[in-house]
Structure 1
Amino acid sequence: MISCNLIVIRTNKLHEQAQFYTALGFEFEYHQHGNGPMHYASKGTTPTLEIYPLLKSQTIPDASTRLGFSVENPDIIVQSILSLGGNLVTPGADTPWGYTAVIADLDGRKIELVKSTSSAFK
């Protein structure tokens, strides 16, 4: 069995992206490991989402990464995200994978928000 325990994204909008992903439901700590860069790391979630500044060799963030999260109410989250400058890619609709909306973060990464079928959200 395999499961994901860490996602790292890099951005030149560190604090703004932390605010954006907080609207998705993540809670972050701002810290560093040793001599590494200051960054945000989510707490209390699996996988851990870390938001790092761009590497010195990077001039723009990678927008080709696509993420997906199960959430309680995609439509409410979409409205919060739009107020923070995020973009709606695909409005919420029933799909073979469940009710899904697709948004883009501040760097253009697409994020699928799938309505959770977990009993914790019923």
Structure 2
Amino acid sequence: MQAPTLNLVVLRASDPGSLASFYQTLGFQFQKEKHGSGPEHLASKTGGSVLEIYPKGTESLDTTAVLLGFRVPSISKVLSNLGSAVDIISRPSKSDWGTRCVIRDPEGHKIELLEA
């Protein structure tokens, strides 16, 4: 039996454009999409997965409890590109998996950056 693979992550944001700009700093490229009668949203396809950012509506569940993890070539470069506005929860430190850092995006989602 083949193991499942992650193909979709959906985030909700009060300001989808601003959140997409943050993730573009990590290397994601977004395009506007609309499926059927659903709302217009932003989508980035990478490594066989899709990261979508939908506008937060009154019926939307909060997605900030989700911890996202991304492997990046250089944590220091990501932090430098994000500048002084980045909310660092856990500074870069060595772990069993490589150098690890935890930050928070502008909407409050925690992101683990891993530099192997």
Taking structure 1 as the reference length, what is the TM-score of the superposition?
A: 0.84
Instruction: Output one character per residue of 1:61-97: Cα deviation in whole Å (capped at 9) or x when no partner.
Output: 43211000111011110222235x3311111111112
CA shift at 1:101, angstroms? Answer: 1.1
Q: How large is the RMSD of aligned CA atoms in angstroms? A: 1.7
Which amino acid is 1:80 matched to? N
Which amino acid is 1:99 matched to? T
Match of 1:8 in 2: 10
Match of 1:51 in 2: 53
Match of 1:62 in 2: 63
Contact 1:93–1:99 (CA under 8 A) maintained in structure 2: yes
CA shift at 1:47, angstroms? Answer: 1.8
Taking structure 2 as the reference length, what is the TM-score of the superposition?
A: 0.88
Over the matched positions of the two proteins, sequence identity in percent amounts to 34
Structure 1, gaps ≥5 residues long: 117-122
SS at 1:79 equivalent = helix
Which amino acid is 2:96 matched to? P
Match of 1:27 in 2: 29
1:74 aligns with 2:75: yes
Contact 1:26–1:45 (CA under 8 A) maintained in structure 2: no
Match of 2:89 in 1: 89
1:99 aligns with 2:99: yes
Number of residues paired by the alignment? 114
Which amino acid is 2:40 matched to? M
Match of 1:119 in 2: none
Match of 2:110 in 1: 110
Contact 1:81–1:87 (CA under 8 A) maintained in structure 2: no
Give the Cα separation in 1 of the matches to 2:67 and 2:73.
Answer: 20
CA shift at 1:6, angstroms? Answer: 0.6
CA shift at 1:43, angstroms? Answer: 2.6
Structure 1 segments of 4+ aligned residues over 3 angstroms from their partners: none
SS at 1:64 equivalent = coil
Which amino acid is 1:69 matched to? F
